[in-house]
Structure 1
C-alpha cells in the first residue's frame, strides 16, 4: 500500500506543511513549515525531483529570514 522509507519522508513532509498551516503563532508556523520543507528537500534529492528541492530550499531561506525579522522586532 505505502512505499518504502523514502516515501515516508515525503508523507512526513506533507504532514509538517499541513500542521504548520494550522498554527496561529507566526513563529511556530515558520519553524514547523521549515521542518516540513527540509524534509521535502531531502525527499526531492532522494527521488531526483529538483524542482521540489529548489522551491522548498527557497521557502526555508524565506522562513529563516522572516524568523530573523520577527526576532529583531521583539528586541
Structure 2
C-alpha cells in the first residue's frame, strides 16, 4: 500500500522520527516523555515491519524507561514561591 509514492512502512518510519524529533523541543519533561514514547511505539511498529530486532529492542527499552519515570518513579510537583496563592 502506497500514498504519494511512499510505502506505509516508510510513512510509519517518518512518523516515528517526527515524534522523537519533536520531543527534543519540549520543555516540560512529562510532555517530552509522552511524545517520545509515542515516537518509540511507532518505531517498534516500524521495526516489526522491516524485521529489525535492534530497532525493536532499543525503542522498547526507551518506552519502558519513559513508562518508569512517568508512572512508577513519580516525584511530587514542587510549587514555586511565586505560584503560591494566599
- Quick check: TM above 0.5? yes
RMSD: 1.5
TM value normalised by structure 2: 0.79
| CA shift for structure 1 position 50 | 0.9
Q: 1:15 aligned to 13, 18, 38, which one?
A: 18
Q: 1:74 aligned to 72, 76, 79, which one?
A: 76
**Structure 1 regions of 5+ residues with no counterpart?**
none
| CA shift for structure 1 position 2 | 5.3
Higher helix share: 1
Higher relative contact order (CA 8 A, sep 6+): 1
**Structure 2 regions of 5+ residues with no counterpart?**
78-86
* Deviation >4 Å, runs of 4+: none
Higher strand share: 2
